[in-house]
A and B are shown apart, each in its own frame.
Chain A
């Protein structure tokens, strides 16, 4: 029987990142997928990044992951979102050429040492007691592994709806993995049903582009990977059009035929990604909705009309699409559809995304109730690292709410569960000012080196950057200026007699960097990238200082580990309701316990007291 340290099931965004991470950490890794040429397929919209999502991609990249690298090889329209706001809430995003992305991902994985791609369908898991120790393929062969990462996407009990027509399936054209779903049902994990949708795909040759406004790529593109400087392929523009009253009338008249509104769908869809039916019902007073026409590739005529996902019958789709300006004669290449799929309650997972009830089994991606390529990839990274750590008998790899969006996401998932497909937003991160896309490497690359998932090239680039920043910081800190010096340089600062360092001055917002450059020629002579980075660091420095207390407290609470077998029943003084919640969620540490709804400071103190007691009892025993 073949044997690997880690098996990753699935070659989507979660699976690719998981397999690459596990292999980087040094585990002999197999990625099992139905078709090797489908690895890295973007099944929904052809774009990577965005607000919160772009942060995740940068974090993946900081840990030497593959998503940012693949996105940069495929990026055909870079746009930095919130460019006019502060760097903390700027999110890099790009349209991605589907084919280039897929090929990039496949070549990155092919070049990854320790990684073998196996074509096949996993139909079962091998268990030794509760522990998962391998998989069974459709041909009956078994592969043994110390850890198994399952990234099932929408393939678990997937059901595709187009109008009142429904059929089992994962993505369009792929068969679902029913036997595996049955196997997982036997694990008795909490499970629910979610829904997501896609718009019809259009033939770009039949769109009247001359009538449409366009949106160009940024003049100064901001790319994803810290290893890259600029776009690698030609940049294109997207078209913009709008729905109108007639479109809405058509949709409204046919609502009953929609799978969503015809009562065929039980899964919960995301509120931030509503179908055109949803938009028209919930925001009835809006007479027009924006539609982005996104080319799917440089040499591909397929266009993804972002904003009109639907589960109406194909003929109605054609009617309403053709009511939209510029799309009067459009040909639909593939109708839009809604897809329902199973997810498992992520509160059954550890912070390493390991299934509590089945040690050795890790979940990542839509199976955990999330949506989005970036969310899936970030989980894949975490699951892959931990699967490898488990196989190699190394420490669990944890991320904190105070160090990354990845930490925020995992904590949200395992502490609170999901009620709709979970998507990242910057507002989810309470340490948002510290967790920026621009400093993901400063936050995580050194940690990644400790974890053992960062290669030498990445480390070299990182330490050179850190050296440059240290030099800049030195120059800025060693010079101090009185308010009078500053007034002369044109910086508006109250004449309070304080002497400020160059670094402090950089925090004074607009015009500050010019003033500091005028005052400090030595700083002015540095490369623009370093100057911009340190100016950004300076801008947020005082806020970080203010948040440090909160971050320290969080870290201390995270260090107070609650053992899996902690006896909540033996504690007097906790309400029954709270005890029941704690027993269901089994928080891993005090910080997680504190975020359980209804938790009081007194109850936390009580838990802490019992932790201390148990610890002392163990020491004296």
Chain B
């Protein structure tokens, strides 16, 4: 039985987001991410660490099999409700062996199968499912009517053709079919695989377009970060003062830049400090800034400790009202230029946006690419591995079912019979 996970709370920004994990591996995963498993039914604060990185500080709650919503071992991670945090944790979960993203309604399904829902809940399920199917229908319509629909159609046709060619050499070996279908099959798979790789590369951007970008303002203390944030936001979102280290927590402001949803993050000034509370603030600032899509380094007098600009990051001088070039939140000098620059940098990211906008789709594409690689490998191994190539291709197609729809054996047979004169 697979262990499944999903975001249990609504998507988007919120105070708290709840990720739910159910299945035999649930507790082990908590141990991997948190270092230890809290006693059942007792909330405990834990750092979620994956790949050497602190993802977030979360309230962790585990339930034993037989005493949970699904009847299986369950873990709940209550993390900060930021899109970036949720995405990071989801990715960490997706990377665990034996875990996969839950299908629609799968938690409920497992609860049902394990006899964990009472009659009233079963009655109530119909409405829930009704709305779920409606949402799915709308989503499917959206996906299929747009660009992804056209591409998916193309992929589907190519995959059906590739699978049919291999199946023809297997099932009609004693017939008059051309034996060497290898070049065509290799070509078809390579084309779809290349497309999917592009999609995967663009999926992060597409996800951002939907969920919004995060832009972190970082820099040494007292560089004017909070004043800049307030100026950008057009309101007093952050407390400002002349005292270095005023900002301790990460402050978020949602706004629109160049037509894109952007969450601006104001962070604690980066410096060496003996102050315990300030140090926590700085650690948090660094973690969030690293996870952000873009960083604006607002330079002041001191050095920036613990973080340095990379890639598209923007570096500007702060407090230009005190003289020199740069920006000033106080006078508004350079603000329009900075906004334009942020907009330009983010827009350049969206150029590569694919049609895949969902984590579920991204994982599906990932699985399929893996399967296509083994299909290519098996085909190159020659006809004696044809059934393994066919199996890999079948997995690739199944992985893409959520995108291209179901490819049935009848589709393959249609393709075979319309292409080859089969039959003695």
Contact = CB atoms under 8 A, between A and B. Distances in A.
Interface of A: 45, 50-52, 79, 81-82, 84-86, 88-89, 93, 270-274, 279, 282-283, 286, 289-292, 306-307, 425-428, 430, 432-433, 509-510, 543, 549, 552, 556, 571-573, 600-606, 608-610, 612-613, 616
B126 to A, nearest CB: 4
Interface in B341-387: 383-387
Given A89-B170, A289-B421, A608-B109, A600 B133 contact: yes
A283 B416 CA distance: 13
A274 B387 contact: no
A432 B391 CA distance: 8
Given A85-B387, A427-B167, A573-B133, A289 B109 contact: no
Contacts of A45: 424
Contacts of A272: 172, 417, 422-423
B423 A86 contact: no
Contacts of A509: 385
A608 B383 contact: no
Interface stretch (B89-97, B110-118, B241-249, B307-315): B110-118
A307 B423 contact: yes
Chain B interface residue number, banded: 35 or more
8 contacts: A51-B171, A51-B173, A283-B421, A427-B390, A432-B391, A600-B133, A602-B132, A609-B117
Nearest to B140: A600
B413 A86 contact: no
A601 B413 contact: no
A612 B384 contact: no
A84 B170 CA distance: 10
Interface centre among A50, A282, A606, A608 (most CB of B within 10 A): A606
Chain B contact residues, majority secondary structure: helix
A85 B170 contact: yes
Given A292-B424, A601-B103, 16 more contacts: A50-B174, A82-B173, A273-B423, A289-B421, A290-B424, A306-B424, A427-B409, A509-B385, A556-B113, A572-B130, A573-B127, A601-B106, A602-B136, A608-B112, A609-B122, A613-B122
B424 A433 contact: no
B387 A432 contact: yes
Contacts of A51: 170-174
B256 interface: no
A283 B418 CA distance: 9
Given A271-B417, A279-B423, A605 B105 contact: yes
B2 A85 contact: no
B4 to A, nearest CB: 12
B128 to A, nearest CB: 8
A55 to B, nearest CB: 11
Contacts of B171: 51-52, 89, 425-427
B108 interface: yes
Contact of A86 (B109, B122, B127, B385): B385
Contacts of A613: 119, 122-123
Closest 5 CB pairs of A and B: A573-B126, A271-B417, A307-B424, A283-B421, A573-B130
A549 B104 CA distance: 18
B405 to A, nearest CB: 11
B414 to A, nearest CB: 9
Given A432-B391, A601-B103, A271 B422 contact: yes
Interface in B46-76: none
Given A86-B388, A425-B171, A556-B113, A606 B125 contact: yes
Interface centre among B390, B391, B394 (most CB of A within 10 A): B391
A603 B174 CA distance: 43
A142 to B, nearest CB: 44
A605 B387 contact: no
A85 B384 contact: yes
B112 A612 contact: yes
Contact of A427 (B103, B119, B133, B170): B170
B176 interface: yes
Contact of B391 (A543, A606, A608): A543
A605 B421 contact: no
A307 B175 CA distance: 10
Nearest to B406: A597
